[in-house]
Structure formats: C-alpha cells, structure tokens
Amino acid sequence: MTSINNNINISNTNHYTSLDHSFHITLYTFSQYYLLLLFFKMSEENGEEVQKTRPTPRLNERILSSMSKRSVAAHPWHDLEIGPGAPHIFNCVVEITKGSKVKYELDKKTGLIKVDRILYSSVVYPHNYGFIPRTLCEDNDPLDVLVLMQEPVIPGCFLRARAIGLMPMIDQGEKDDKIIAVCADDPEYKHYTDYKELQPHRLMEIRRFFEDYKKNENKEVAVNEFLPPSTAVEAIQHSMDLYAEYIMHTLRR
C-alpha cells in the first residue's frame, strides 16, 4: 500500500503541477483517488470471478488488445458483395453525392474515399455516382454507375440499384462507359426498368453533364447514344467475369 500511495502522490503532484503550478494536494482530492483505487480493485476482483464462469476478456484487456493490433477496415471494392440479384439488381458504392462539385473517388490502396479534385466547371453531379463492387473494366477500375433517386446520399455508403441503360463514353481516348441505374429501394424510382421511361430532359441533363464537366480542364469527353438495359446487364456481367479472372490469376501467382 505504501508504494501505491507513493504513486498516487506522484500522480497527483504531476497533475496539479501542470494545472496550477502547485504541489499542494488536498485531503479531499486524496480521498477521491483512494476511493477510486478501491473501486478499481473491487472491479478487478469481480472481474476475476466473472472470468471463472465466462471466458470473456475484460474491457481494459480488449482495449489493450485492439491498440496492439493493426485495425483492418473492409475494402468496398473487394469485400462488399455485388449481391445475389446481379447483374440485374446489384450493390453499388456511392462516391459522389448528387448536387456536389467535389470529385470524390475510391483510393484503391486503402479502400477509403478521397477527394480527387473540385470540378473546374460551374456544374454539379446530377445524381449519385459511384461504382459496382467486385467488377473490373479495361481501365483497371471498377465499373462506374450513375444512380437516379430522390435524395443525395453520403459518400462511402452502398445501396441496391437496378440497371436501366448504359451510356457509352470515351474519356480522353479511352473507353469509360457508365451504367445508368435507379435505386431499387426508392419508391419513386424503383419501378423504372428502361432509360426510355425517363423524361427526355433528364437524359439530356445526364449527357450534357458528362460532355461538359471536364472542358475547363482541357480534357475531351465524347458521349454516344444511350443503350438498352440488356446491354447494361451484359456490361455488368462482363466486368464481373473480368474481376473473377483477375482474382483467380492473382491467387495462382
């Protein structure tokens, strides 16, 4: 107990030195620390009794264990399943919020969503934009998807979507097609099955955004005519197959 009391005195001395440059410890403060010490001692004894009947580590042990191990977060591209209804209904991860000028994108190394840039033009993303997990395209990125729904959602979340079309696009000479989809759990949009069911002006907005959003960066983008949902489903299936081939090739190495 003498060594414990000495530790308490030293702890209190350091504590009050940093706060008010005083080495004076009041009896009231000492009593508080002493009662706290007794409380922890009783807690440890109770914990030992619980440990005998239930092999669950105490909270402090769990904290120390987690601090001594590297935390590994789930990677949205590889760890999130595409969903049992794919390629027709699939999970997708939202990178960019509807109405945002911030170009977020997946950091493929960490799995975090990073800020790539702020758009150079005075335009905003017309709908939530992201990617389909466990897919792979020729540009070594997951397949892009634009999701029509009522509300903007936060970057990094995932939702269920249904493909209603495909927008062929060439970005600086490279193929960069976009899946046009609707949120499968939005009562206003979930009944759409074909992009032709949308208002023509809505399609014009989408096309115009992708034609213009890189102009002030002196980057050329060409958007071709929208293709039917069957083509979109084929593109998703193809990207799923490419991803599976890549994984198998990686495992063989």
Residues annotated as catalytic (active site), given as ranges: 125
The CA distance from 20 to 12, in Å, is 12
* Residue 240 CB contacts under 8 Å (≥ 6 apart), including other chains: 82, 86, 87, 134, 135
The CA distance from 97 to 108, in Å, is 19
- Give the residues across from 102 on adjacent strands: 118
The CA distance from 217 to 117, in Å, is 11
Burial class (CB in 10 A: 0-12, 13-18, 19+), 16: middle
* Dihedral of alpha carbons 61, 67, 72, 74, sign: positive
The CA distance from 15 to 25, in Å, is 10
